[in-house]
Amino acid sequence: MIESFTAVLAAVCVAVAILDRPGSRRSVAMVLALVLAPALIAGNQWEATQVAELRNSPGLLIVALAGVGAVVAGLAALLDRQPVLLPVLILIALPFRIPLAVGGEEANLLLPLYLVLAAGVIHGVYRQWRPRATAASAEGRSSGAGQQLTREAATSSGPGGAASWLKPLLAVSVLLYALGLFYSDDRSQGLLNFCFFLVPFALVFVLMLDVEWNRRTLRTALYTVIGLALVWAIVGLVEYQLRELLWNEVVIRSNDFHVYFRVNSLFWDPNVYGRYLALAITVVAAALIWAGRVREAVALATVSGILWLALITTFSQSSFVALLAGLATLIALRWSLKLVLSGIGALALLALLFAVFAGGLVKLDLDRLNPQTGGRADLVSGGIELFGDKPLAGYGSGSFSLSFREQVAGPDAPVTESHTEPITVAAEQGLVGLAVYFALIVSSLFALAAGMRQVMPGLGAKTNGASGDPDRGPPPAARAAILAAYVAVLVHTLTYAGYLDDPVTWVLIAVGYSLAFPCRATSAA
């Protein structure tokens, strides 16, 4: 029980970091959250083999801590000299998952991202508490820019309406997950999810929110995404050509029994690899649509073609659908929202007509549908059954797999990990969690789309579609790319889960929010 109370304390610290302005109070909250998360993991896994080895080998523990401390200190020193590197390092670290045995199972953890996060928090604390003389000198060098930002902040309006609830809902989501640990059927798994995913990703959100997303930073971020995506694509294409994977025995064995060969590149799961490629293609497509020169357009089109070939080798249906959603969003923003809505309506009508007139000819066989979907049909129906059993608050944070096995499918169930985010939320957090989840989606979409009507031709803006005024506001291509990528993530979570427990979601929301409201008071500070 003490673990649950400590998790709530960590969630409160995260909420303060999300809601508070830059200052000493927020710095203290971020440090506390950063310390409490690994402390909770160590306490929860005290008897695990890895922790026991460190406990029984003080020398090894000291060396490990010294090594981690040296890396973090070095990164913090680098950020102090080049603060612009923080978003680049975060983007580079986002996809790198390292397999480790945690809680008796193998987990793929974002260890490089945790190191960058720790360095970013420490750098922020140092910048906050550095000697007054140094701060005064820095203030003097940037007084002109600071005064300009302050004037803009004073005359600009912050988020209003549904968009104003974005950060409070993010804080509530983290706090609600911590409270769900008190009654969870699988408290250990929920605690690991909370400490490995929600806490660090929320802190990444805060760090990315503080970045000054000017055109130079945005262009650097685009180059970083393109470079990484090309590396993953080349590795994946080589795997496909050689018919050999680097790791994940489950995928390797499944390839032996299928007529097609699925690729995961340097990722653990082909669907996660596919999602990353789909998001990269969406971002590159936005840059291509708004490209101002033929040479840039040709280069971006070539990159898109390479990434598309790599995406095909994943055979990830959820990633294909996510990419279509992202591209449809770009078409709506750049050319015509009515055209996209009409296309969606026509597809819905065709599906309805097919269901009405072909219903007697094509019967839905659930026994055949489940293996064809990799067991996901059973997961959806089982999740709905769990929600029906405890509709108000669910079975608790992180409990889906255990509750599904015990209450629905039995101990021999081949698949127990939920692959549909709304179903997961309903089963684990009930109506309360669903309300927060849907409210967060609505608020985030309003925030990321704020002011789009003034800059997007597809929404009625009186513009020729150029990159925008270089002296006022972010380029339309950047805002379109972030919104389209976020829509793609939302669609992907409907068939593969991974919403707030994916750092990409937090990063997209942070960047999109900063682009929508670039002159808020926190930026001026």
SS (H, E, C) 331-378: HHHHCCHHHHHHHHHHHHHHHHHHHHHCCCCCCCCHHHHHHHCCCHHH
Helix-then-strand count for the chain, H and E: 24, 2
Question: Residue 374: what pLDDT?
Answer: 52
How far is 224 from 134, CA to CA, in rounded Å?
32
At position 46, the amino acid (one-letter code) is W
How far is 27 from 24, CA to CA, in rounded Å?
5
Question: Residue 144: what pLDDT?
Answer: 39
255 against 496, higher pLDDT:
496
133 against 132, higher pLDDT:
132
Question: Residue 488: what pLDDT?
Answer: 94
Confidence of residue 173 (pLDDT cuts 50, 70, 90): very high
pTM for this prediction: 0.87
Instruction: Using alpha carbons, list the distances in angstroms from residue 435 to 7, 355, 508, 511.
Output: 22, 31, 22, 25
Q: Give me the chain's average pLDDT, please.
A: 81
Any idea of the CA torsion for 459, 223, 494, 417, to the nearest 10 degrees? -170
What is the pLDDT averaged over residues 294-302? 91
Question: Residue 325: what pLDDT?
Answer: 93
What is the pLDDT averaged over residues 439-444? 95
Written as six digits, the tokens of 432 are 């309360």
Residue 239 has pLDDT above 80, yes or no: yes
Q: 81 and 47 in contact (C-beta within 8 Å)?
A: no
Considering only 120-129, 322-331, 468-477, which range has the smallest mean pLDDT?
468-477
Question: Residue 362: what pLDDT?
Answer: 46
440 against 359, higher pLDDT:
440
Confidence of residue 376 (pLDDT cuts 50, 70, 90): low
Question: Residue 246: what pLDDT?
Answer: 77
Residue 519 has pLDDT above 90, yes or no: no
Confidence of residue 189 (pLDDT cuts 50, 70, 90): confident
Identify the CA nearest to 109 among candidates 501, 510, 505, 509: 501
Question: Residue 453: what pLDDT?
Answer: 85
Considering only 123-137, 233-247, 496-510, which range has the smallest mean pLDDT?
123-137
Question: Residue 320: what pLDDT?
Answer: 92
Query: b or e along 158-185 (b: 16 or more beta carbons within 10 Å of the residue's beta carbon)?
Result: ebeebbebbbebbbbbbbbbbbbbbebb
Kindly tell me the sign of the dihedral angle through the C-alpha atoms of 58, 63, 66, 72: negative
How far is 518 from 510, CA to CA, in rounded Å?
11
Q: What percent of the chain stands above pLDDT 70?
A: 80
Question: Residue 525: what pLDDT?
Answer: 32
Half-sphere exposure of 114 (CA within 13 A, CB side): 18
Considering only 116-125, 126-135, 218-227, which range has the smallest mean pLDDT?
126-135
Q: What percent of the chain stands above pLDDT 90?
A: 38
Written as six digits, the tokens of 478 are 């950047």
Confidence of residue 146 (pLDDT cuts 50, 70, 90): very low
Chain mean position to CA 343: 28
Q: Computed over its alpha carbons, how large is the radius of gyration of the chain?
A: 24
136 against 204, higher pLDDT:
204
Residue 366 has pLDDT above 90, yes or no: no
